[in-house]
Amino acid sequence: MTIHWCGTGLSTVPGLRRLIKAGHDVAVWNRTVAKAREAVGDLTDNIHAFSPEALSAEVKAGDVVVSMLPGDWHVQLAEMAISKGANFVSSSYIAPEMRALDAAAKTADVRVVNEIGLDPGIDHLMAHHLVADYRASDAYDPKNAISFHSYCGGVPKFANAFRYKFSWAPVGVLKALKSPSRSIRHFSELNVSRPWDALGRFDAPLSTPETFEVYPNRDSIPFIEDYKFDPAWPVKDFVRGTLRLNGWADAWADIFAEVGTASDERLTEIAEGLLKQNAYDEGEPDRVVLCVSFEAQKDGQTVWHKTYVMDAWGDARGTAMARLVSVPVSLAVEAVLNREMPAGVQAAPSDPKLVERFMDEVQTLAQHLTVVDHLA
């Protein structure tokens, strides 16, 4: 069975190299062959120029197609994989068009795994761990009020005046600022048009406690079901969001003032200027902080409260972001090859054995990873 890994961009290489070094049969596909050779040419010569036609001609039943290409390729490649009786893995959110492939994937007995990078991905694994831990605790009571907060952010290891740095063209970051979000705050649905309208504070229980600015993103509410909350649980707060260094909102005030009404052309212009002024220097370490917190209250008193925290930064192995996005993808590929995940369209696994195994690997990727019990 061959792993067809498509895309060798900035966040893909560590996981790809891990699979090749482990002895898997890996075919590497990239639109620019020279870039793929630069990434893994010291390990393999099984490198090809990507096109959907060329890839389709090589995919066989039982193979795994990995898409680390831009998101608009994922559904097309997943459809092709299913038609061949092959599996599919990506790190991206499950789009409605991807979810619509579930019946076809089950009929073909293949696995279509998404949301298994950093965020989404590692955050899901942390959430599944905490929910299972709470359910098994003496404090568990279906009447307890639940507060859930999940915040992730890529930030510079060494803060700059702009409180942020870019590894690549920041158009995507700017466009995300125009996206509405939906979450739960104080038992009510919170709909926000722009992130800065719901800016908050999060005290992260890292090895050295640190405060960050946070805001909700996308639609958090479907993840209540994905994380296997009991429908009877009263949910006080539920938010999945983005984490930024303190001072970020002030530093970005001029961007906020313009981005809401800016055309795509103007966003590109802004992005080019930001990249020139706030790009990472060669060899400069990035940093990734991820905190997933689960709290249960009974009659207004906290009876269970734990936070899964991760702090990672770039080192001799490369960037933290690349490790934390691509290595979980490679773990999912191996789980698919071992048929440890069910057929159909799915996100990061909730099976306790897989969660534990994946998080053991994440332990080696991050400089700090632990579960903090706030009541201990």
Q: Facing residues of 28 across strands?
A: 5, 47
> Could you tell me the pTM of the whole model?
0.95
pLDDT tens-place string over residues 266-309: 888 888 889 889 999 988 999 999 999 999 999 999 999 999 99
Question: Would you state the pLDDT for residue 349?
Answer: 97
- Asked if the model's pLDDT at residue 195 lies above 90, the reply is no
Q: Are 146 and 236 in contact (CB under 8 A)?
A: yes
Count of other CB atoms within 10 angstroms of residue 2: 17
Question: HSE of 82 in the Cβ direction (CA atoms, 13 Å)?
Answer: 23
Computed over every residue of the chain, the mean pLDDT equals: 95
275's CB contacts (< 8 A; 6+ apart) are 166, 169, 170
Average pLDDT over residues 8-33: 96
CA distance 59 to 6: 12
- Asked if the model's pLDDT at residue 259 lies above 90, the reply is no
pLDDT tens-place string over residues 317-346: 999 999 999 999 999 999 999 999 999 999
Average pLDDT over residues 224-239: 97
- Asked if the model's pLDDT at residue 228 lies above 90, the reply is yes
Count of other CB atoms within 10 angstroms of residue 180: 14
The pLDDT confidence band at residue 264, using thresholds 50, 70 and 90, is confident
Average pLDDT over residues 111-130: 98
Tokens 């696994």, residue located = 349
- Asked if the model's pLDDT at residue 168 lies above 80, the reply is no
Joined tokens for residue 205: 């229980």
350's CB contacts (< 8 A; 6+ apart) are 124, 128, 228
Joined tokens for residue 8: 């060798």
346's CB contacts (< 8 A; 6+ apart) are 111, 112, 113, 114
* 336 backbone dihedrals φ, ψ, rounded to 5°: -65, -45
Average pLDDT over residues 177-203: 93
Question: Would you state the pLDDT for residue 176?
Answer: 83
Average pLDDT over residues 241-262: 91
